[in-house]
């Protein structure tokens, strides 16, 4: 049985509206007005390209990320699941072992899963606590499970998720319903790219 490893923010929980609200508030003091840009434009630019466009340094980006992360954590429990995702988890969990890998604390994720009645479909939650890239944590998961990397699949909504999965030797699946759109995700060269949760069942993994 293959292992399907899911990112959390944007892939399972629909928190993009919350992220945009918090980012708008956070960037305003730096002279950046996100309201001038359409959501579609931001998603198709991708995080790295947009940050270059508005001239935010890597150091500033690090502090912004930490600030945004803490604010999202405080409100995330009220965000909905990705639309229709719940409908396909029962069948998916019968065919594969489902896991979550995220920078969120495992207990925070487990509380969210329980609140939305989907905790029974996921076997475990792993925290991304590495400062050296998500691929380091993915490799640790593979080692802990005692499986080959090609026996695992990673699903993410950002190009950095795809890059990390490929560096770790996993099959990389990009989902276009999250933070980044099809343009930056395709540029990261995922093995598969899907636009809606129902496609999870038709993937030939």
In SS3 terms, 95-107 reads as HCEEEEEECCCHH
Confidence at residue 141, expressed as pLDDT on a 0 to 100 scale: 97
**Residues 103 and 49: beta-carbon distance below 8 Å:** no
Confidence at residue 42, expressed as pLDDT on a 0 to 100 scale: 87
- Quick one: which of 12, 20, 40 has its CA closest to 155? 12
Cα 152 to Cα 148: distance, rounded to the nearest angstrom: 8
Confidence at residue 131, expressed as pLDDT on a 0 to 100 scale: 65
Confidence at residue 182, expressed as pLDDT on a 0 to 100 scale: 96
Specify the pTM: 0.92
Confidence at residue 123, expressed as pLDDT on a 0 to 100 scale: 98
Confidence at residue 73, expressed as pLDDT on a 0 to 100 scale: 82
Chain position carrying tokens 């770790």: 168
Ordered per-residue pLDDT tens for the chain, 205 residues: 799 999 999 999 999 999 889 888 888 888 888 888 888 998 999 877 887 787 777 777 777 777 787 888 888 899 999 999 999 999 999 999 999 999 888 999 999 999 999 999 999 999 997 767 899 999 999 999 999 999 999 999 999 999 999 999 999 999 999 999 999 999 999 999 999 999 999 998 8
Q: What is the DSSP string of 154-192?
A: EEESSHHHHHHHHHTT-EEEEETTSSS-HHHHHHT--SE
């Amino acid at each position: 049985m293959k292992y399907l490893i899911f990112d959390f923010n944007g892939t399972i929980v629909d928190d993009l509206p919350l992220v945009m609200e918090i980012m708008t508030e956070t960037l305003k003091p730096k002279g950046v007005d996100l309201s001038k840009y359409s959501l579609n434009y931001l998603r198709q630019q991708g995080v790295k390209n947009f940050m270059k466009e508005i001239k935010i340094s890597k150091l500033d980006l690090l502090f912004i990320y930490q600030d945004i992360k803490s604010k999202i954590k405080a409100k995330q429990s009220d965000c909905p699941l990705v639309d229709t995702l719940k409908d396909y988890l029962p069948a998916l969990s019968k065919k594969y072992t489902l896991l979550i890998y995220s920078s969120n604390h495992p207990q925070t994720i487990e509380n969210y899963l329980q609140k939305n009645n989907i905790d029974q479909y996921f076997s475990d939650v792993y925290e991304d606590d590495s400062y050296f890239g998500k691929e380091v944590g993915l490799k640790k998961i593979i080692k802990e499970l005692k499986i080959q990397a090609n026996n695992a699949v990673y699903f993410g909504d950002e190009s950095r998720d795809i890059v990390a999965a490929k560096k770790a030797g996993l099959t990389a699946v990009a989902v276009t319903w999250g933070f980044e759109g099809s343009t930056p995700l395709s540029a990261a060269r995922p093995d598969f790219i899907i636009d809606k949760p129902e496609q999870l069942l038709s993937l030939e993994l």
